Amino acid sequence: MSLGQKLQEARKSAGMSLDDLASLTSIRSGLLREMENNNFVACGGDTYARGHLRSIAPKIGADPIELINMYNEEHSSEHRAIHDLLVENNVASMPVERKGISIKTLAIISVSALALAGIAQIVISNSKTTVIPKKIEITPTATASQSASPSATPSVSASASTAPTTPAVVPNASGVTIAITAARGNASIEFVVDGKTQGKNKIFQGESKTFSGTKSISFYVSNAGDLDFTLNGRKLAPLGAHNEEVRKTFRAGE
């Protein structure tokens, strides 16, 4: 019977519940239940566990010395430490019989050692034979001379200005084609091609847009002086000044 079972049996024999015992000993009923399950970890150490047993023993009619002795044998860390110390000093450990090496084993080891020595001697003798490698002369083949005249670097003549170029526009013989280039600034543009509005857009400096129709093209620009216009492949004269709003209509055949 374990210590926990003995506590439970004595309490029941005394006709008490866990709550009754808890009120008499000021020990929580949950801790009393753990102790009856033979779990004393929650007691907080050997000293507290022994103190609880001394408080419980007279209330359930048990001998406190007996309970403490059972705790020391089953749960006390001090008791286990002493046992481990005895084992470490070979007091509690079983003696181990030492067996000596037999003559037969020594003979086998000696024969094996002689065989290994003979093999090593043969290997060393064979390794002394020097093999002189034959020198092979390699005549380098003549490499073709790479005589190449430096390639002429094409000279690029560019003007300092980065003004956009007017896109090439193929004349529309059967209608009207207008190309617009934001050569010197940004502008707002709105085009109506053959009566259909193309929407109001922004054109930024350097951009070009082309519109083609079969009958007519009408447009509105907010900054005509900064824009270049080409009608059916023919560049037009400036249609206005800087920041000047211009509305214009071109029809096929003009």
pLDDT attached to residue 200:
87
pLDDT above 70 for 92: no
Query: Closest Cα partner for 190 from 133, 249, 123, 149?
Result: 249
List the structure tokens of 109: 């080891």
Q: How many CA atoms lie within 13 A of 194 on its CB side?
A: 9
Indicate the pTM of the whole model.
0.33
Query: Comparing 155 with 19, which gets the higher pLDDT?
Result: 19
Q: How far is 191 from 126, CA to CA, in rounded Å? A: 100
Q: What are the Cα distances from residue 139, in Å, to 133, 136, 153?
A: 19, 10, 40
What digits encode the pLDDT tens for the residues 44-91?
Answer: 889 999 999 999 999 999 999 999 999 999 888 766 555 555 555 554
The mean pLDDT value for 186-202 works out to 90
Give the H or E element holding residue 199. strand 196-203
The reported pLDDT for the residue numbered 70 is: 93
Instruction: Answer yes or no: are the C-beta atoms of 168 and 188 closer than 8 Å.
Output: no
Residues 29, 11: Cα–Cα separation, whole Å: 13
Answer yes or no: is pLDDT of 160 > 60.
no
219 three-state secondary structure: strand
Backbone angles phi, psi at 246, to 5 degrees: -135, 140
Q: What angle do CA 191, 193, 198 make, to 5 degrees?
A: 45
Partners of residue 218 on adjacent β-strands: 192, 249
What tens digit of pLDDT does each residue of 121-157 get?
A: 787 776 655 555 555 555 554 443 444 444 444 444 4
Mean pLDDT, the chain, whole residue set: 79
Secondary structure (3-state) at 104 = helix
